[in-house]
Structures are given as structure tokens and as C-alpha cells.
């Protein structure tokens, strides 16, 4: 039995389906590269403190992924005011991991969700398929596929 202080919340794990989704869309890179937005990235989309030329092991990539997703899930927990299943929370954590908490915070998706309009919120995932590449806003096929997968995971509850 875990000894948890009185009043402390037990952290929720990231659903395995969500980790699989993020692994699939991010891909595993053991050597740092520049993502389409020009940010040094390694592992499964990890960017914090990454330097070009850096290399890691697959175990370190998994550690980064779990830490990054836990941070994204904390942002979801802070922003969402309605109950979520683990898959719904995870789909939103994938969204935040990919786009940042600010994108969710200012989104119609969050506003509709917090109003209890799950169906309306699901319809908003597909609006988030653009990235700035070489200074231009472009629609990316990979983002379209990722948003569809996140929306399906969210709907599956």
C-alpha cells in the first residue's frame, strides 16, 4: 500500500493507448534533429534542453516521454473543469504535448468541453492541423492524422 499524505491526490497514470498514440506520431529518434518548426527534438518529440548533436538511448526516450506526458496531463487537469476518462484526459494531454498548454487554454475546444459539450469539443480537434514552417502557416498531413486519432480516442472515452 502506498503511503499518501491525507488530502493528497494520487497521480493518474497516462493511459497506455495514449502513450502508443504519441509514440506512433512522434516516432523515435535517438539523435537530435530539427522538427518542421525548427526546434531541436529527440526521443519521442522531447524538446526541453535538447542540443543538436545530442544522442540518447531508447530507455531515456521512454523516460522523457513519460515525464513530458505527465507534465501535459497536469496542464489538462488544471484547465479542464469537467470529469474526464483516462482516455479523454490522455487525448488532451497528447494535444497539449504537441501544441502546448497555451493552445488548449485559448481554444474553443476547451471552452466547449468545460461547458459540457463533448461532441462540440471533439469537432474542434480537426482545426489544429497547422504549423509554422519556414515562417509560413501550413497544414501538415501528419497533424491531420494525429488530430483524427486524438479525437477518436477522446470519443471512445
Q: Which residues contact 44 (CB under 8 A, 6 or more apart)?
A: 22, 23, 26, 27, 28, 61, 62, 64, 65, 68
Q: Which residues contact 86 (CB under 8 A, 6 or more apart)?
A: 12, 13, 15
35 given a catalytic annotation:
yes
CA dist., res. 47 & res. 34, Å (int):
10
- Angle, vertex CA 138, rays to CA 133 and CA 144, nearest 5: 115
CA dist., res. 6 & res. 24, Å (int):
38
Q: Which residues contact 82 (CB under 8 A, 6 or more apart)?
A: 113, 114, 116
155 given a catalytic annotation:
no
For residue 105 the three cell numbers come to 487554454
Q: Which of 116, 102, 119, 90 has the alpha carbon at shortest distance from 22? A: 90
Exactly one of 35, 62, 71, 155 is catalytic; name it: 35
What are the residue numbers of the active site?
26, 35
Amino acid at each position: 500500500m502506498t503511503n499518501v499524505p491525507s488530502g493528497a491526490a494520487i497521480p493518474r497514470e497516462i493511459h497506455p493507448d495514449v502513450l502508443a498514440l504519441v509514440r506512433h506520431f512522434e516516432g523515435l529518434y535517438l539523435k537530435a534533429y530539427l522538427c518542421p518548426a525548427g526546434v531541436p527534438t529527440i526521443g519521442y518529440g522531447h524538446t526541453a534542453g535538447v542540443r543538436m548533436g545530442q544522442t540518447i538511448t531508447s530507455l531515456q526516450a521512454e523516460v522523457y516521454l513519460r515525464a513530458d506526458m505527465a507534465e501535459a496531463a497536469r496542464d489538462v487537469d488544471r484547465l479542464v473543469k469537467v470529469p474526464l476518462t483516462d482516455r479523454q484526459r490522455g487525448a488532451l494531454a497528447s494535444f497539449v504535448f504537441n501544441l502546448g498548454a497555451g493552445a488548449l487554454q485559448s481554444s474553443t475546444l476547451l471552452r466547449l468541453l468545460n461547458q459540457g459539450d463533448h461532441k462540440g469539443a471533439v469537432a474542434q480537434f480537426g482545426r489544429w492541423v497547422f504549423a509554422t514552417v519556414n515562417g509560413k502557416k501550413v497544414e501538415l498531413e501528419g497533424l491531420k492524422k494525429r488530430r483524427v486519432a486524438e479525437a477518436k480516442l477522446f470519443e471512445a472515452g
